[in-house]
Structure 1
Amino acid sequence: MGFCFTNAIAVGAKYAATLGYSRIGVADFDTHSGNGTLIALQNDPRYLFVESHQPGFPGRFISRFNTPPNVLQVETATGSAGRISWRDAWEYKLLPALSKFQPEILLVSAGFDAHKNDPLGLTNLEDEDYIWLTREFARIQPHIVSVLEGGYSIPDASRCARLHVEMLAAASQ
């Protein structure tokens, strides 16, 4: 389901479990719901999957089911309220849940399609928002595997991806 042929994050999370990790955090800040990741990891206490997404594709997927206990999804506002809604979701719900879980490793679905210049995203994020979130991830767990998920304004996605990698590199030192 979704835009990806292979769910690299779900494959990576499953592989991490074979290496002996028992608390694997998975965070998704792509503007679209990580429904494929949810399906792959749901109801397995070794994983905590947290994500924000804008309304829309693939529709209100999770509302058709009971929310699995190891999943926390927040649908954020779009338009002028999008940035504040996104930041609040991460600061007050998603990051605290991830921190409480105390992951031994963190896998990140890094989608830069919520950027204000992206033609598909409507959340209106700024470069600084991605920098802030990456720093917060590193505070929770510096052992991070990040996979590019989305971003359809090539100049903005490229710049934000570079900033994200720079923050990850700084956190690992």
Structure 2
Amino acid sequence: MSSEIFRRASLGLGGNIGDPVKSMAEALRALNARPDCRVTAVSRLYRTPPWGKTDQDWFFNACALVETSLAPEALLDTCLGIERDMKRERKERWGPRTIDIDVLTYEGVAQSGGRLELPHPRMTGRGFVLMPLSDIARDLIVAGRTIGDWLQDADVAGIEPASAGSEWCPLT
């Protein structure tokens, strides 16, 4: 029996180039296939207007919960590796992308500075993160408030469900 400790992390996924829904599902299946990660919940899929840089196609966004024995930075590296394998190119901030995977929270860890800030420093102000995350972790506490509470104050204009549930992402 393994003595590894698994902790819960939340991930935000998105994309607007090619087939982002297929890319996000493929990324979650790749994570789930690893012995050190288990995808335990997947949100509905959302169609969202571009944010930050608005002269581009709409995005698809979703969130997932994973249990992992990876340390936070190792989980980030794993997600970045999946992005690279899927030909993600980082050309401009908030620009178009085939796939984006953000580590939003990691159980028991709060850290700032360095290359990974936890919880994600801008997640509580982004409706495109909070709506899908509230599907699967409404009571998760971030910065002293639940995701559901943060969502009540978020700008969700134009964000619409694009699936009834997690059926867009079969994990097997």
- Report the TM-score when normalising by structure 1: 0.33
Greater share of residues in strand: 2
Q: Larger RCO: Structure 1 or Structure 2 (Cα < 8 Å, ≥ 6 residues apart)?
A: 2
The TM-score with structure 2 as length reference comes to 0.33
Greater fraction of residues in helix: 1
